[in-house]
């Protein structure tokens, strides 16, 4: 449509649209390159590989958990870890004193976004 001479769009609008499309293409290429690096990094660590076997956990979420979560041995059960993430109500123990929406907002957001995307299917 931008290249059609009879489109009725002014030249300035066409040029601006071409510029925006070039920016989108550049950003898309950069995002794809970074996504590839994240996938490669997630394949290099045992913990990230194991985390990705769980439904809904991809390379980004696995790396975020590996980077920010304390040792899994500090949690007595899965529910304590879920409470630390902020996915279930707070546990009243010394292991999980706070909901991690405050402690680890990025990983919390990744987990929530991924869990909600599965409900749409």
pLDDT by residue (tens digit) across 9-28?
Answer: 888 888 999 999 999 999 99
Taking 70 as the pLDDT cut, the residues of the chain under it are: 1-2, 5, 89-121
The closest of 19, 99, 113, 102 to 61, measured between CA atoms, is: 113
What is residue 116's predicted lDDT score, i.e. its pLDDT? 56
The closest of 65, 58, 77 to 106, measured between CA atoms, is: 65
């Amino acid at each position: 449509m931008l290249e059609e001479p009879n489109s009725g769009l002014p030249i300035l609008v066409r040029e601006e649209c071409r510029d925006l499309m070039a920016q989108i293409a550049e950003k898309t290429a950069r995002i794809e390159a970074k996504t590839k690096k994240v996938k490669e990094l997630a394949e290099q660590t045992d913990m990230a590989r194991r985390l990705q076997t769980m439904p809904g956990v991809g390379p980004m979420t696995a790396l975020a958990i590996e980077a920010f979560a304390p040792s899994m041995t500090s949690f007595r059960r899965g529910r304590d870890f879920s409470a630390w993430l902020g996915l279930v109500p707070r546990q009243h123990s010394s292991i999980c004193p706070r909901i991690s929406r405050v402690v680890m907002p990025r990983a919390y957001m990744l987990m929530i976004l991924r869990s909600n995307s599965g409900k749409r299917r």
